Amino acid sequence: MSDFSNYRDAVILAYKNVKADGKLAEELLSAKRTSIRSLCLRKYTEGLTPEDEKFFNSFFNPKSINRDLKTLIAGSDLDRFRPIENFINGSVKSPNEENTKLLAILIDFQDRPMSNWLAKNPQIADKEKTETPEDKTQYSSIKKPIMRSFSPLIGLAIIPIIGIWFIINHWKSKECMIWQEDRYVPCACADLPSGTPAITYDQQKVDNFRKILRTDTLKYKHIRQIWYSKVNNELEFFTGPGMHPVYTDRSLKIASKYILEKYILNNNPINSSIQNEINSNSNNE
């Protein structure tokens, strides 16, 4: 299988899991092209990652028309969404590459785009590249006689290798991390406090994912470069996308110019009344 085929299978599996968990967007449940277009428009309005916005531009504006992307999405031909509609209805089992990318955004697949997923699953890409057709031809004619002649020795050599492989993978499967105040901290799964859900260790999140405690340091350059979530009428800002580290059923949204101006940039950075404004406007969102 190609890298894309593996990625597509991962997206389809994620779609099925989200659907089984009852977390599928209402617009996808209706499986209508008008609803799918509405979901695309909602995703854009809520804020896209730079990679997602780049894809939306190529998907909804392939001719590079000088018009607002929101307007292009709202007026897009409904036939653009027929493949997704067919996939949801079950008449198509595997969407093509373009529609796989769109589906990944619509279900908020966390490891998108494909380059991110491959980086987190290097063993799949490496396995595809291990053997060429020429290698397989040579192995079929050479390896079998060697195995027949030296199988006891090879067996003895393989046993410790398998043991080492098992120990390493067993250890990795136990590696966890825990959220502490503003960051993820590595820990052994066995050391997790009672009742604390196990979070699989993610080196990228440990190194780069932070909660922004000093919102007065945010500037215009941070527009669409950070993410946020509203919890108990409080806006919390983070340095990366994904799910909220505490309220894990909530996905983080990208901070648009509107959000930063409304809650941060148009206020005095040290003004403690920011929270009062958030509370007074919470019913308008």
Q: What is the tens place of the pLDDT at every residue in 51-65? A: 999 999 999 988 888
- pLDDT tens digit sequence for 248-266: 888 999 999 999 999 999 8
CB-based burial label for 117 (10 Å; 0-12, 13-18, 19+): buried
Residue type, 177: M
Q: What is the mean pLDDT of residues 34-63?
A: 91
Average pLDDT over residues 156-165: 65
Give the range among 166-175, 214-223, 235-244, 269-278 with minimum mean pLDDT.
Answer: 269-278
How many C-beta atoms surround the C-beta of residue 208 within 10 A? 12
- Closest alpha carbon to 189 in 214, 167, 209, 170: 170
Regarding beta strands 234-238 and 199-200, do their DSSP bridges make them parallel or antiparallel, or are they unpaired? unpaired
CA-CA-CA-CA torsion for 178, 106, 238, 248, nearest 10 degrees? -30
Does pLDDT of 170 surpass 90? no
Q: What is the largest CA-CA distance in the chain?
A: 81
pTM for the full predicted model = 0.47
Please name which of 78, 74, 81, 86 lies closest in space to residue 41, comparing C-alpha atoms.
Answer: 74
For the CA atoms of 233, 235, 240, 242, what is the dihedral angle to 10 degrees?
Answer: 10
**What pLDDT does 127 receive?**
57
Mean pLDDT across the chain: 80
Position 125 scores a pLDDT of 56
- Asked if residue 82 has pLDDT above 60, the reply is yes
Q: Express each pLDDT in 106-136 by its tens digit.
A: 999 988 988 888 888 776 655 555 545 555 4
The percent of residues above 70 in pLDDT, for the chain, comes to: 75
For residue 112, report the phi and psi dihedrals to the nearest 5 degrees: -80, 160
Q: Select the more confidently predicted residue: 273 or 30.
A: 30
